[in-house]
């Protein structure tokens, strides 16, 4: 999922590293689908690696809101229009490129276009509205359903920043957002058939809480009312431990539910809200990092190219399934190829487009 800092803008390396963790978590989750012996224990969270999407949403809420607030603070009369130009330049071109790659390279990539309704598949993917419809939700490069969701979250966040006084009524709005999320998930679970739960819960009001916490954090940081860097080492350590324990506990709940996850009201209605709060705590810790360790620089770079990692990894892994090799070898090869593609697309495709739009 896309939410990198603007190309050419100063970067928070600790934040980039956290984004790298999110991207690699999703990669490993898909890589071990055909690796039944992959260890659990402390690595249990990798078996539920789609929680990386929840982490992405918290980061995205913070980064994109910070970008919009910075543009407005610069005094530009076209700040909001520039924000949308930059978002579009960041998201659409690589999404289109990776979708074409998937159709023509991945095994059975053309199947959605040959099974009827090809024009609808093309139209919804070109406009990035495919995540709204069950027939196109995960038909081409399944991970891209999150991009439709993220676009809806951008619209929601922009609307709130334009018309709501979040600084004075932050608590009131937060309670309203969380109530809407819980109400929507409860409606989906108790009123819709089980086969529709996964799709409907992952729409706007089912995934809003994490993005909202990131957005709210950006607002208070921008106003100077929230400065994690001033916290003591003990406070940041305690928050990090609480966040990690929270993630581990919630992942354990998901693991215990197993295939019955979508039949459990606790899992469907509450687990993702818990993850949003735990990841928001970790984001606070990251924002308070004063000195970033150099040995984590590769992880920070993975965050920089994380959009590519997210879009390229699934078609690469699907292609490698045809290779009769040990699961660990396929996973290693998939990671290497994904990183090469992501680095190349970032250097020669993403970054030049964004720089051109910024000029």
Say what the pLDDT of residue 10 is.
54
Q: Where are the strands (E) in 200-239, listed by range? A: none
Average confidence score pLDDT of the chain:
93
pLDDT bin (cut points 50, 70, 90) of residue 125 is very high
Say what the pLDDT of residue 115 is.
80
- pLDDT at 8 exceeding the cut of 60: no
- Separate counts of helices (H) and strands (E) for the chain: 17, 0
pLDDT bin (cut points 50, 70, 90) of residue 157 is very high
pLDDT bin (cut points 50, 70, 90) of residue 11 is confident
Indicate the domain borders of the chain. 13-231+283-358
Say what the pLDDT of residue 224 is.
83
Averaged pLDDT for residues 81-92:
96
Averaged pLDDT for residues 110-116:
87
Look at the block and give the residue holding tokens 């619209």. Answer: 155
Q: Are 307 and 1 in contact (CB under 8 A)?
A: yes
Chain segment 300-349, per-residue pLDDT in tens: 999 999 999 999 999 999 999 989 999 999 999 999 999 999 999 999 99
Of 213, 141, 152, nearest to 177 by C-alpha is 213
Chain segment 254-295, per-residue pLDDT in tens: 999 988 999 999 999 999 999 999 999 999 999 999 889 999
SS3 content of the chain, % helix, strand, coil (to 5): 80, 0, 20
Chain segment 158-176, per-residue pLDDT in tens: 999 999 888 788 899 999 9
pLDDT bin (cut points 50, 70, 90) of residue 229 is confident
Look at the block and give the residue holding tokens 């609808």. Answer: 120
Say what the pLDDT of residue 272 is.
95
Cα angle 168, 155, 10; round to 5: 80
- pLDDT at 3 exceeding the cut of 50: no
Averaged pLDDT for residues 83-94:
96
Count CB-CB contacts under 10 A for residue 356.
Answer: 9
pLDDT bin (cut points 50, 70, 90) of residue 1 is low
Averaged pLDDT for residues 206-222:
95
Chain segment 13-65, per-residue pLDDT in tens: 999 999 999 999 999 999 998 888 898 888 888 999 999 999 999 999 999 99
Averaged pLDDT for residues 201-228:
92
- Taken in order 217, 165, 222, 233, the sign of the CA dihedral is negative
> What's this model's pTM, rounded to 2 decimal places?
0.94
Look at the block and give the residue holding tokens 């009123």. Answer: 191
Averaged pLDDT for residues 93-110:
96
Say what the pLDDT of residue 9 is.
46
Count CB-CB contacts under 10 A for residue 291.
Answer: 6
């Amino acid at each position: 999922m896309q939410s990198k800092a603007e190309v050419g803008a100063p970067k928070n390396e600790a934040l980039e590293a956290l984004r790298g963790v999110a991207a690699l978590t999703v990669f490993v989750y898909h890589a071990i689908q055909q690796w039944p012996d992959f260890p659990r224990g402390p690595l249990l969270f990798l078996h539920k690696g789609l929680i990386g999407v929840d982490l992405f949403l918290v980061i995205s809420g913070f980064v994109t809101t910070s970008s919009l607030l910075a543009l407005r603070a610069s005094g530009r009369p076209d700040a909001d229009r520039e924000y949308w130009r930059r978002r579009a330049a960041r998201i659409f071109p690589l999404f289109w490129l990776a979708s074409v790659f998937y159709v023509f390279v991945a095994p059975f990539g053309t199947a959605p276009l040959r099974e009827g309704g090809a024009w609808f598949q093309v139209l919804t993917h070109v406009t990035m509205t495919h995540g709204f419809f069950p027939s196109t939700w995960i038909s081409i490069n399944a991970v891209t359903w999150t991009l439709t969701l993220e676009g809806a979250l951008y619209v929601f966040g922009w609307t709130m920043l334009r018309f709501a006084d979040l600084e004075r009524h932050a608590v009131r709005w937060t309670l309203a957002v969380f109530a809407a999320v819980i109400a929507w998930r409860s409606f989906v679970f108790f009123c819709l058939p089980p086969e529709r739960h996964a799709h409907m819960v992952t729409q706007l009001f089912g995934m809003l809480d994490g993005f909202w916490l990131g957005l709210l954090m950006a607002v208070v940081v921008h106003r100077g009312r929230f400065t994690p860097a001033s916290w003591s080492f003990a406070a940041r350590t305690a928050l990090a431990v609480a966040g990690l324990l929270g993630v581990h506990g919630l992942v354990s709940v998901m693991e215990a539910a197993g295939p019955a996850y979508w039949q459990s009201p606790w899992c469907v209605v509450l687990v993702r809200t818990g993850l949003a709060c735990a990841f928001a705590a970790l984001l606070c810790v990251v924002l308070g990092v004063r000195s970033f360790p150099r040995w984590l620089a590769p992880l920070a770079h993975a965050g920089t190219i994380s959009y590519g990692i997210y879009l390229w990894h699934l078609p690469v892994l699907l292609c490698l399934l045809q290779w009769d090799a040990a699961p660990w070898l396929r996973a290693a090869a998939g990671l290497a190829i994904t990183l090469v593609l992501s680095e190349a697309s970032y250097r020669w495709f993403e970054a030049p487009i964004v720089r051109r739009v910024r000029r």
